[in-house]
């Protein structure tokens, strides 16, 4: 089952990459730019087909993908008569839209996965179902049994047990009328909560332990919850990226010296794939609970990758966006001085910086790969 989980993660990752590149493709075509290739993977071509002017296909190494937009730099040669279809000829606004479309679709996918999680699968919540009755408790004395579902309290329907259970805790010892569903029977039981000390706090209780399980929410609530969790994931991603440089020394020690891996530290693609495999093979959880956790992993990964790609460093999309923004700033300053718009920045002049950043990212990727293999993160799933 673990290998199925790993393969599922790989497929989900490749689909996310394809969606990212599709964002670039759609917006580039929308603005009349020439897109000559759209490939999943790198290296040797395994299969391809041509649709119009674009060649679609799959390459040998499944380590990403790319959408080739012609004329990314002024030195690129465009076919005669198509010079105005070059990327570098577009306005800065259109460049920003094309470059940001990939990350935008990552955010959309992350949000949609979270919506499906809330509305279609459910999240682990306290349920109004009795999993255990404490011996000698009020619940036992009035006849509450394991498996009973509390459907109402004092005639008010139970809709959110996490909130409704407060009616018991805040009862001040007053008698409560409980609606109970037992198998196919609907029962009414009367119980008076008793004041007990629970974990150092005095509270009124019946003496039942609630079950925990998946619970779906309505469409409107799911839209809202998906947005809130997306916002939280974005915030956590920003925090992780700001702390990333400071975690590299610890990662080196964990890789070279065998120090214990930090569950909140850096994890590479191999590590996330392994965690996904463990998630889907965890026999202590129901199949739907495993699937829900897997969806959560993929959603958070998409949001992180979308944000990472917006970092203002070349060769990332955010680096090219920073160049387009710099072009507009230079043009604005030129207008203020009554001068003509300066030529667009040629990103090839920034190649040395790009290569340094690429080398750093490649080294970090390799370090994470080795760490995830020789000293994987251990999570209590």
Residue 324's SS3 state is helix
Which structure tokens are listed for 94?
């259109």
Which residue has tokens 């394991």?
Answer: 146
Query: Angle at Cα 14 formed by Cα 12 and Cα 15, nearest 5°?
Result: 65
User: Among candidates 299, 289, 295, which has minimal Cα distance to 229?
Assistant: 299
Whether the CA torsion 38, 270, 308, 235 is positive or negative: it is positive
pLDDT at 380: 54
What is the Cα–Cα distance from 133 to 144, expressed in whole angstroms? 7
User: Among candidates 356, 342, 284, which has minimal Cα distance to 313?
Assistant: 356
Fill in the DSSP letter of residue 76: S
What is the Cα–Cα distance from 130 to 209, expressed in whole angstroms? 6
> What angle separates helix 92-116 from helix 317-336, to the nearest 10 degrees?
140
Residues of the chain with CATH 2.30.42.10: 124-215
User: Among candidates 159, 161, 194, 160, which has minimal Cα distance to 176?
Assistant: 194
Cβ-based neighbours of 57, under 8 Å, separated by 6 or more: 37, 38, 39, 40, 45, 46, 47, 48, 49
What is the Cα–Cα distance from 249 to 321, expressed in whole angstroms? 30
Q: Which residues pair with 45 in a beta bridge?
A: 59
What is the Cα–Cα distance from 70 to 47, expressed in whole angstroms? 21
Which structure tokens are listed for 161?
């047990």
Per-residue pLDDT of the chain (381 residues; tens, 9 = 90+): 578 888 889 889 999 999 999 999 999 999 999 999 999 998 999 999 999 999 999 999 887 889 999 999 888 889 888 999 999 999 999 999 999 999 999 999 999 999 999 999 999 888 999 999 999 999 999 999 999 999 999 999 998 898 899 999 999 989 999 999 999 899 999 999 999 888 788 889 999 999 988 989 999 999 999 999 999 999 999 999 999 888 888 888 888 887 888 777 788 888 888 888 888 888 778 889 899 999 999 999 999 999 999 999 999 999 999 999 999 999 999 999 999 989 888 888 888 989 999 899 989 989 888 888 888 877 655
**Residues recorded for the chain:** 381
pLDDT at 376: 84
Judge whether 317 and 103 are in contact, CB under 8 Å: yes
What is this structure's pTM?
A: 0.85
Helix and strand tally (H, E) in the chain?
10, 10
Cβ-based neighbours of 223, under 8 Å, separated by 6 or more: 115
pLDDT at 379: 61
* Share of the chain residues as helix, strand and coil, in percent rounded to the nearest 5: 50, 20, 25
pLDDT at 344: 84
Class for the domain spanning 124-215: mainly beta
């Amino acid at each position: 089952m673990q290998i199925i989980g790993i393969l599922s993660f790989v497929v989900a990752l490749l689909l996310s990459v394809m969606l990212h590149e599709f964002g670039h493709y759609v917006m580039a075509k929308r603005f009349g730019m020439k897109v000559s290739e759209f490939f999943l993977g790198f290296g040797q071509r395994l299969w391809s087909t041509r649709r119009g002017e674009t060649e679609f296909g799959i390459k040998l190494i499944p380590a990403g993908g790319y959408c080739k937009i012609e004329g990314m730099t002024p030195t690129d040669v465009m076919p005669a008569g198509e010079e105005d279809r070059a990327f570098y000829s577009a306005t800065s606004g259109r460049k920003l839209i094309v470059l940001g479309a990939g990350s935008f679709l990552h955010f959309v996918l992350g949000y949609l996965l979270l919506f499906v999680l809330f509305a279609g699968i459910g999240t682990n919540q306290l349920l109004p179902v009795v999993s255990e009755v404490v011996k000698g408790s009020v619940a036992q004395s009035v006849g509450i049994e394991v498996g009973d579902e509390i459907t109402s309290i004092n005639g008010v329907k139970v809709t959110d047990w996490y909130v409704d259970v407060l009616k018991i805790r805040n009862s001040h010892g007053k008698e409560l009328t409980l609606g109970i569903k037992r198998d196919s029977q609907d029962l009414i039981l009367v119980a008076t909560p008793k004041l007990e000390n629970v974990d150092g706090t005095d509270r009124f209780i019946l003496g039942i332990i609630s079950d925990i399980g998946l619970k779906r929410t309505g469409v409107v609530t799911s839209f809202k919850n998906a947005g809130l969790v997306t916002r939280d994931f974005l915030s956590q991603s920003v925090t992780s990226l700001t702390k990333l440089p400071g975690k590299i020394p610890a990662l080196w020690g964990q890789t070279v010296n065998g120090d214990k891996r930090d569950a909140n530290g850096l994890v590479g693609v191999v590590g996330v794939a392994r965690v996904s495999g463990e998630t889907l093979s965890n026999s202590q959880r129901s199949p739907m609970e495993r699937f829900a956790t897997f969806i959560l992993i993929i959603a958070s990964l998409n949001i992180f990758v979308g944000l990472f790609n917006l970092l203002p460093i070349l060769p990332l999309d955010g680096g090219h966006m920073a160049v387009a923004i710099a072009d507009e700033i230079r043009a604005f300053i030129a207008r203020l001085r009554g001068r003509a718009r300066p030529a667009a920045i040629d990103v090839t002049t920034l190649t040395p910086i790009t290569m340094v950043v690429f080398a750093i990212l490649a080294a970090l990727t390799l370090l994470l790969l080795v760490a995830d293999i020789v000293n994987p993160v251990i999570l209590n799933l």
